[in-house]
Chains A and B, each alone.
Chain A
Amino acid sequence: MTLLALRGISREVGLPDGGVLPILTRVDLEVAAGEHVAIVGRSGSGKSTLLNILGLLDSPTGGEYLLDGEPTGALRARRRARLRGEVFGFVFQQFNLLPRRTAEENVAAPLLYARGRDYLRRRRTARELLDRVGLGARADIVPERLSGGEQQRVAIARALVRSPRVVLADEPTGALDVETGAQVMALLAEAAAEGGAALVTITHDLNVARLADRRYRLDAGRLTPLAEPAPTAVVPAPAAAPLEEALP
């Protein structure tokens, strides 16, 4: 069943000289529940804009974005914010953990915007998620005292704490060494799959992209399928294979 559907999505920004800069051009993409999709592209190719639109953080200037078959274009800001919290979990390249809050407080933070039982049980839920990512013993540590890999695991736990239906990951291994990156990516894919969440990953790293069910390339705002066989197992690469080498 299709969860997210982009139909002819365009995004343009105005320039100071009155011109228009196209960021995305007629992008079509469908993501089904529980599916893992990877999007690779150079810097400036529009990956972040695409992820912003998917996560309801930005709106397209053309085309239609359907969430659960419902158009999102006419949604009020309040409803968009609520959907963003309920449907999506975000994993950022720079982790974006809240400074000076413990790992547990960071993981529990999205539940501050939940209601009822979810809000009231937020600390217990956060502990459970930290246990799931192997950081139960580090729950009371602030991010400044965690390694990069640990911080990203906290970020993954945080992204999953509201049981999202889609996890949007932006370069989730970009700030990690190769081995740690592979472990974190495997954890993210596994945790998302466990929760039945679709995973949309943006990456430069083809090894990361290989984990996905479907892969796309974004080039100058145009999205095209990336034909490459998926590996059967996660193999940490000896060194990052930058996308720039693989792209024409």
Chain B
Amino acid sequence: MIPVLATLAEAWSEVRVHRARVVLSLVGVFLAVFAMTTVTALGLLVAQVQQEQGERMGGRSATIGVTAYDPQTGMPPDPQEWDAAVADLTERYGITTTASIGYEETRFRLPGGTQAVQTKRVSPSYGQLHRVEPIEGRWLREGDRDSLAPAVVVNEAFLAALGVPDLSARPTVVIGGGDPVRAVVVGVVREGYGEELLAYRVDRSAGPWDAPGVADPSAMAFGPSTLELWVRPEQADEVMAVVSHDLGLALGGVQVDAYRSDSQGLEETLGMLRLAIRGAGVVVLVLGGLGVLNIGLVTVRQRIREIGVRRSFGATSSRVFSAIMLESVCATFLAGLAAVALSVVLVRNLPLDQLLNSGIPLAETPAFPVAAAVEGLVAATAVGALAGLLPAVIAVRARVIDAIRF
């Protein structure tokens, strides 16, 4: 134990005594480890953001979109038949999470006049399937189907058109048409481009303002209604095949299309990007290591006399070797530690939802990846060991009597 402690103490003493040289030689290693760790951590965070963005658009992995329509008329199938066929299908295959999406234009009476707004009629489970994170208020829920006043979730442009800054005043808006009804704005999402107004309502309701089970005649205006099924990715292909087949048979003469609607290949793309950046980090790390090696070689030649003196104290070859190696390892480990610490501070304090996610809160903000920190420290230590190897060999092979010159 004592020799190990003594070797560490000796190495640390050398680092302390030669701190200016050590610090200069470590700039490259510090920058490389900082870059590697930060890139790795940011890569994971960006992947999370990309994944959430992809999931907002196309659903979580794996989401199977199903559309059904009469090829002759283009109209959707009878709602009762459709619901029965879907219920039978989900029960048979144990699919627990489904969502329906329909598109319509809803006429909202806004302060500037009545305006037709593109509205998605969705089931509340759409929020779970698409990771919808309202920036204010809440998402639609099952109880909204029975509400006397329909609930709507709108985007920020809609809220601005409504002339209210936020939901604190519990704003309402009248849905016009033949049977006008006052709806409650329950949530705000960050979606749409520019001044485009968007709204979400529950797909079908038992409320007095919506005839239950009746297909909206305008539902086909923006394409057929879609059923979404959330299944395990490995089951996706099989489910797509059976859904098309079984629903086609059940509905008779209806064209049923099933397809993957979630983003695929995103992970591979991000993986390639991370690999490229990490490759650059490794190159920088190698260059930093060469800097440490270079200064280590110069220094060890200057310190030959000192090494000779230490040999006269009884230092063995292995002790001289390990002291020089540890000196390098200690220094690069400390540089790695500082780089990782700075990386953690930077990444933790970056407004990632503002920078990467248009200000939408991340559904799952990942913690700073421990693997990235460990990887950075291991890389720094390995560079120190490699860069210390050659100077250590030179130190051991130096002739003591030449070094001391009695």
Contacts and interface: CB of A to CB of B under 8 A. Distances in A.
Interface of A: 47-49, 51-52, 55, 57-58, 77-78, 81-86, 88, 90, 92-94, 96, 98-101, 105, 109-110, 112-113, 115-116, 119-120, 170, 202
Interface of B is mostly: helix
Contacts of B319: 81, 113
Contact of B406 (A81, A92, A112): A92
Given A51-B406, A110-B314, 5 more contacts: A48-B401, A78-B317, A81-B319, A112-B9, A113-B310
B311 A96 contact: no
Contacts of A48: 401, 405-406
A101 B5 CA distance: 19
Q: A57, A83, A105 — which one has the most chain B CB atoms within 10 A of its CB?
A: A57
17 contacts: A47-B406, A57-B401, A77-B317, A81-B311, A83-B314, A84-B311, A84-B312, A84-B314, A99-B306, A100-B17, A101-B13, A112-B6, A112-B9, A113-B315, A115-B3, A116-B2, A170-B406
B320 to A, nearest CB: 9
Contacts of B18: 100
Nearest to A51: B406
Query: Which 9 pairs show the lowest CB-CB distances between chains A and B?
Result: A85-B314, A48-B406, A110-B313, A81-B316, A170-B406, A113-B314, A90-B312, A96-B309, A112-B6
Contacts, number: 79
Interface string B27-59: 000000000000000000000000000000000
A77 B13 contact: no
A94 B317 CA distance: 24
Contacts of B312: 55, 57, 84, 88, 90
Given A96-B305, A112-B9, A52 B406 contact: yes
Q: A81, A83, A100, A170 — which one has the most chain B CB atoms within 10 A of its CB?
A: A81
Q: A88, A94, A109 — which one has the most chain B CB atoms within 10 A of its CB?
A: A109
Given A57-B311, A109-B310, A112-B10, A92 B404 contact: yes
A106 to B, nearest CB: 10
Interface string B370-406: 0000000000000000000000000000001100111
Interface in B283-329: 305-306, 309-319
B314 A93 contact: no
A112 B10 CA distance: 7
Given A51-B406, A81-B314, A85-B314, A98 B6 contact: no
B296 to A, nearest CB: 18
Report the interface size class on chain B. Answer: 20 to 34
A88 B318 CA distance: 20
A81 B315 contact: yes
B311 to A, nearest CB: 7
Contacts of A92: 309, 404, 406
Q: B5, B319, B401 — which one has the most chain A CB atoms within 10 A of its CB?
A: B401
Contact of A52 (B2, B310, B317, B401): B401
Contacts of A52: 401, 406
Contacts of A110: 313-314
Given A52-B401, A81-B316, A85-B314, A113 B6 contact: yes
A85 B313 contact: yes
Nearest to A58: B401
Interface of B: 2-3, 5-6, 9-10, 13, 17-18, 305-306, 309-319, 400-401, 404-406
Contacts of B404: 57, 90, 92, 96
A85 B312 CA distance: 7
B342 to A, nearest CB: 29
Given A57-B312, A82-B316, A96-B309, A105 B13 contact: yes
Contacts of B313: 84-85, 109-110, 112-113
A101 B316 CA distance: 21
A8 B310 CA distance: 30
A236 B18 CA distance: 40
Contacts of A58: 401
Q: B2, B311, B319, B406 — which one has the most chain A CB atoms within 10 A of its CB?
A: B406
A83 B312 CA distance: 10
Contacts of A55: 312
Contacts of A78: 316-318
B314 A82 contact: yes
B314 A98 contact: no
A159 to B, nearest CB: 9
Contacts of B2: 115-116, 119-120
Contacts of A51: 406
A58 B3 CA distance: 25
Contact of A98 (B3, B306, B316, B318): B306
A85 B309 CA distance: 11
A77 B316 contact: yes
Contacts of A98: 306, 309
Nearest to A115: B2
A123 to B, nearest CB: 11
Contacts of A49: 401
B150 to A, nearest CB: 80
A98 B353 CA distance: 55
A110 B310 CA distance: 7
Nearest to B9: A112
